[in-house]
Structure 1
């Protein structure tokens, strides 16, 4: 029996928010001292030109969503806010002590967890604390993630007054049975309310996050969710494939049975239907999993080939240095990655000792940097080339040989020194990147590491 392309290519694979991916970091060759040297080099190269980015992880949530694989701490005790904000500002001050001049911040993204778990006053305290050591770039872009159930008008207004113009709201799906399965009860009117508030206040880019492949989810559910979403007309959408990774400790993804999840062709159909509806409603596909209206900055960045991808997802602008603050955050100097401890108590203790809470990382070698550029090209532009000899690497002929079958399936076109992903190939970007992933090819994982690619 002939199998479909979805069945053929639906294998475990990375999401490529970095290269090398975290499981393949060479931790033995990494030290905090090397990281400091690396981010200082990147800061010198980028601060005066484009500025730097901050990712700030706010881990607290009032309840567990069973689709989520993020680092979080479940609590209804809001007294934890002030202690955590104080720690974030302390961590930022430790970084600033190591810099030769005042940093210029181009991007801030508040992720989580649930950033809107924090009161407007504590969010203001955080941002003011950051800028007691830094200046804003002229064309800065500040964004945050909001939970529709607990985002207040006052929070939105306060963050707007602090310079935030982009907000993304987690929607996932509107079907009652799906929301119950993922423990995310969230009525449509809550999402509508915060979306209208954000528009009224003046946010210029409002995003909604939707997931396909959730337990009990049907085609009718996806259609209903996207129709409701279109009625609110957010500027951009993330339309993610549900990443089922129940082996990750504490992610809460064992709240439903495997048989309740749409599989292979059934799951791919949810994506195809969703994509058709989004296209019909004026949303163009921008990179992996993302769609945007022509008026949105992400769409404009994609058209001008300035789209960038990092641990924060897709960005309309690129900075060489991104510093991650908070428990589990990952920093990126382009030359290296560094990750903070995932344990909240260890995070506090290290800061108490005046130490950066970095516990692991990876120093990229020349080969890593070349492959990283190719994977960024594929995920941001749906094409890559080695016409510039600096992007040629020794194992390229082997990579092209591995891509032959993908080319035969008409998912890519290889012409001379260029690869272009076809429209049919866009759902399989992760598979195409895997052909370039030399770390993955040299050492296949012996245990579960990645979610399925489709």
Structure 2
């Protein structure tokens, strides 16, 4: 890969799990009534044909991983489990109360936090509670995030019995020095056991999350980690760039910028990882993600069924994503809504029998057009605008911004058609940024996004 291009395009940029991105959502509060209307409207259109997705945020962790940018609550008190599950089920009931018929659950993902903080018995209570007044879509896909140090055989067996077939294991790095720096006590043997046990039970897709750019990380050490990963042969790999945002996540102040690899070294780590993965059969799916050909993620890319939302890349597309739990974000196609970000406020709203939405955004016509193009680029590496419904002034401004990437061989632009070249796939965040009219209309004066590499 061209190192000069990596350096040239290594700028702050969004990951585009939504458009507009959260910092550019409307400042006007989204009312509960408006959110309910939006959810109900898209549910009536899409539930029968495609079903809905559920994302459940389980925020609790026993210790703070200092690299983490997620919304978490740190405690060793497991008495918090049952009240939290009861709250999530109450929130789900508030949705069921205004939906006109039984939802078909097509996709379900447990994120966190640490979902495996919760006992297998309590997770069973949660999932069976969700299913009591819903149907499971025949083409469903259920997955969960697993901490290798807390995921027991009972967790794997229980969730498998409930229909889960995907597991995403937080590996980050195998170097014990780095794991100590980021306060993540886990071992290679734990990752190996969870991987092998999941496959023995019948899970069909194992993902590893890896992070490059962590403190004290070196090319040689990360290459060793990739070698260990390759031996275990996960079906998918998410290779994330570490985002150092201590002004947002104070836990990251355990180390400083001086502990992090500089831009050149970080790019070298990324290149070494990418080259090693591609040399043994992993394919670039899109931003940060690699997959074996045998995995459904690769098959979805080939069949042009890949989708992207707040859960990241998914193999199915539903126009309604309901987010349950503290800080969870929902997507009803015409709008987004995010729940209260503290457990206390989340409980307070539910105790008042209110959906705990505290902010959101209703998409304009321009937003809808630009989101379509960004989704097409993120998922299919191309987009078209043959019809007037796919055109707006902001589209042509985006194409003008792509003149330099086109000269650099990252995209090819023809009448009504833009295609990302093989060289350009690694720069998909940069290419998508050209379409971000809200970003260009109000360029941030302070850092709010991570570097693209």
The TM-score bracket by the shorter chain reads: over 0.9
Unaligned runs of 5+ in 1: none
How far residue 438 of structure 1 moved from its aligned partner, in angstroms, is 0.3
Map 1:80-229 to 2 at 5 A. 80-229=80-229
Residue aligning to 2:440: 441
Map 1:250-329 to 2 at 5 A. 250=250, 252-329=251-328
Unaligned runs of 5+ in 2: none
CA deviations 1:237-273 (Å, max 9, x no partner) are 11111111111144x1111110221222221111111
- Are the aligned partners of 2:370 and 2:395 in contact in 1 as well (CA < 8 Å)? no
d(CA) in 2 for partners of 1:368, 1:29: 18
Residue aligning to 2:368: 369
- Are the aligned partners of 1:6 and 1:265 in contact in 2 as well (CA < 8 Å)? no
CA deviations 1:16-47 (Å, max 9, x no partner) are 10000000001316322111110001100111
- Are the aligned partners of 1:29 and 1:363 in contact in 2 as well (CA < 8 Å)? no
Tell whether 2:73 aligns with 1:76: no
d(CA) in 1 for partners of 2:397, 2:351: 50
Tell whether 2:414 aligns with 1:405: no
- Are the aligned partners of 1:247 and 1:448 in contact in 2 as well (CA < 8 Å)? no
CA deviations 1:40-63 (Å, max 9, x no partner) are 011001111011000000000001
Tell whether 2:246 aligns with 1:246: yes
Residue aligning to 1:34: 34
How far residue 411 of structure 1 moved from its aligned partner, in angstroms, is 1.5
d(CA) in 1 for partners of 2:57, 2:378: 24
d(CA) in 1 for partners of 2:37, 2:388: 28
CA deviations 1:328-368 (Å, max 9, x no partner) are 00000010000000011010111111100000000001110
Question: What is the root-mean-square deviation in Å for CA atoms of aligned residues?
Answer: 1.2
Residue aligning to 1:351: 350
Residue aligning to 2:382: 383
Relative to structure 1, the CA distance from residue 29 to residue 78 in structure 2 (aligned partners, 3 Å threshold; closer, same or farther) is closer
Tell whether 2:422 aligns with 1:423: yes
Tell whether 2:391 aligns with 1:392: yes
Q: Secondary structure at 2:110's aligned position in 1?
A: strand
Q: TM-score, normalised by structure 1?
A: 0.97
Q: TM-score, normalised by structure 2?
A: 0.98
Q: Secondary structure at 1:27's aligned position in 2?
A: coil
d(CA) in 2 for partners of 1:249, 1:294: 37
- Are the aligned partners of 1:6 and 1:264 in contact in 2 as well (CA < 8 Å)? no
d(CA) in 1 for partners of 2:8, 2:18: 25
How far residue 416 of structure 1 moved from its aligned partner, in angstroms, is 2.1
Of 154-163 and 25-34, deviating more is 25-34
CA deviations 1:148-191 (Å, max 9, x no partner) are 00100011000000000000000000112211211112210010
Q: Secondary structure at 2:76's aligned position in 1?
A: coil
Aligned length: 451
